[in-house]
Structure 1
Amino acid sequence: MEVIALVGPAGSGKSHRAQIVAYQNQCDLIVDDGLLIDREGKIRAGTSAKREENKMAAVRRAIFLNEDHREEVRSTLWSLKPKRVLVLGTSDDMVVRICEALDLPHPDRTIRIEEIATPAQIRLAQRKRQHEGKHVIPAPTFEVKKTFSGYMVDPLRFFFKRDHGLDPVTLEKSVVRPTFSSLGRFFIADTVIAAIATRAAEMTPGIGKVGKVVVESRREGVLVDMEVLPRYGFQIFEVMKAAQKAVADQIAHMTELNVLEVNVEARRLLVE
């Protein structure tokens, strides 16, 4: 197994260019900020350091100091039997520590961010990190939202033209804006989620009233249990199904939370 390192200062654009570098160097997997990602952008294992609430915790996550995290990524990586792995780090020493944690050989080759990005591009990336808090994860938004519930996540698609007459590849990355800042930590109260769920259900044709709504918030997303009173004369199954979808869609749209489950229970028919 070969290892290629991509090294550059924090916020210099390494994650932004990771998939292209992986394709250009035939790397099967990418190790970036605590995540194991394949070349197509699927998160195979790990937890992103970008979820941590301070720099120290992020560094510990990125270099796999947590035993359970390290073992999850290491075992998955070796089970996939990659021929070549791309490891991202802010320094040569960081890459070596990651390789040793995951039982990988030391890098066969190191690519510096200055070799693949202009000074102006690096400055722009660093400015966006410092002033806008933008972090890039080389994975599609639907993958990222599974572990970044409550974060503002924006998709970023681009085309990569391969050599030897092969068809272009469409790659997708995600831009993440953390929920915390110098002004304090941002969170969405369960009462707000319940209010959104209630309103979404009430707007569904065939739903007369909404009763009890229970919200369970987890790190990976939210679960909603709610009681409704369908109106007499409607197809109950179709109404419940429509209400369930409306609630899930509205919560996801208005909060960026990952909706794990919406359970809708009909208590009785509303006859008016």
Structure 2
Amino acid sequence: MEVYALVGPSGTGKSHRAVMLANRLGAEVIVDDGLIIKGNQIVAGVSAKKQPTRIGAIKAALFMDVDQMNIAREAITRLQPEKILLLGTSRGMVEKISQRLELPAITEFIMIDQIASPKEIRKARIMRKQHSKHVIPAPTIEVKKSLPEIIIDPLQVFLKRKGLRDRRNWLEQSVVRPTFTLYGKFTISQSTLGVIAAFAAKAVPGVVGVQRAHIVRNEQGIIIELDIVFSSKINISNISRDVQVYVKEQVEKMTGLAVKHINITVAGLKVEEIV
């Protein structure tokens, strides 16, 4: 199986162009915003557009729910596609999706500006920013099954089949306004991420306290830097690894953001008194 990824910031027209790109690549399956789509059918998944909050939408897109993740894995196994196209806002996001769905390493990363002009990207951004319109690369009759409460408009995409002269057809997509857009823009501050990371770290046995939690954000995800006071009775190397694993797990679970690195500095050791 060959895995391709279409990457670009939110609102730049990835979903709109996914069908055309999949057609060009010969990819039978598209994975977009928590949905497994094959041709004109949604075969598995729960749309991120159905979620009431942006955090919920991110979690759905990353298949953070174990049951939905397993259903998606089974669907892909059943379909046995030769090529599959993943959509995401960053390399880190599509890599996370690939890992969650147990797919092979990504063959090629395709950036949105490689297949869309600056003018087309600007137009897509305006539609997202001013009208909160999102595209789902599936027909309205399919999308309504998952999103009956959301207004859905059809959007047709013109395709020319490879190797078949003069054979052309239209493939329908859907334009929706997700529930979470009704509540405005939602972001997680650096300080909030730091509090979440510090709280998770302090839950690990052997951690006495966290003196500093610093967050660095980029397009690939976040880097967490922690200055920790440990108990003198534990093995620092082992406990540091436990902290990294648990903090990554909790931050990703609570925020849907991809944690790329966790750097730990030993800020001190506390010697417990012997009674």
Q: 1:179 to 1:95 in 2, by over 3 A?
A: closer
Instruction: Give distance in 2, aligned partners of 1:31 and 1:25.
Output: 14
C-alpha distance in structure 1 between counterparts of 2:65 and 2:5, whole Å? 22
Instruction: Supply the distance in 2 between the matched residues of 1:162 and 1:127 (Cα, whole angstroms).
Output: 31
Shift in Å, 1:179:
4.4
Count of matched residue pairs? 182
Structure 1 contact 3–87 (Cα < 8 Å) conserved: yes
Which residue number in structure 2 is paired with residue 193 of structure 1? none
- Distance (Å, rounded) in 2 between the aligned partners of 1:157 and 1:127: 19
Q: Percent identity?
A: 46
C-alpha deviation, 1:126, in angstroms: 1.2
Q: Is the 2:53–2:179 Cα contact (8 Å) retained in structure 1?
A: no
Moved over 2 A (4+): 162-166
Q: 2:47, 2:179 → 1: CA distance?
A: 14
Aligned to 1:65: 64
Q: Distance in 2 between matches of 1:163 and 1:68?
A: 37
Runs of 5+ consecutive residues of structure 1 not aligned to the other structure: 184-272
What are the ranges of 5 or more consecutive residues in structure 2 without an aligned counterpart? Answer: 185-275
Q: Which amino acid aligns with 1:26?
A: G
Q: Is the Cα–Cα contact under 8 Å of residues 29 and 36 in structure 1 kept in the other structure?
A: yes
C-alpha contact 2:135 2:176 (8 A) present in aligned 1: yes
Q: Distance in 2 between matches of 1:121 and 1:50?
A: 23
| In structure 2, distance between residues paired with 1:146 and 1:179 | 16
2:49/2:179 contact within 8 Å kept: no
1:141 maps to which residue?
140
1:82 aligned partner: 81
Alignment-derived partner of residue 169 in structure 2: 169
Deviations 1:4-51 (A, max 9, x none): 00000011100001111111000010000000001x221010001011
Q: Which has the higher contact order (CA 8 A, sep 6+)?
A: 2
The answer to whether 1:178 aligns with 2:174 is no
- Quick one: which amino acid aligns to residue 82 of structure 1? P
SS in structure 2 of the partner of residue 104 of structure 1: coil
CA separation in 1, counterparts of 2:157 and 2:95? 31
8 A contact 2:157–2:171 mirrored in 1: yes
Superposition deviation, residue 169 in structure 1: 2.8
Alignment of 1:2-81 (within 5 A): 2-38=2-38, 40-81=39-80
Name the structure 1 match of 2:117. 118
Equivalent-residue separation in structure 2 for 1:133 and 1:75 (angstroms): 33
What displacement does 1:112 show? 0.6
TM-score (norm 1): 0.65
CA offsets per residue over residues 167-213 of structure 1, 9 Å max, x none?
11321100002346148xxxxxxxxxxxxxxxxxxxxxxxxxxxxxx
1:215 equivalent in structure 2 = none
For residues 110-136 of structure 1, what are the alpha-carbon distances to aligned partners after superposition, in whole Å with 9 as ceiling and x for unaligned?
111000101111111111111101010
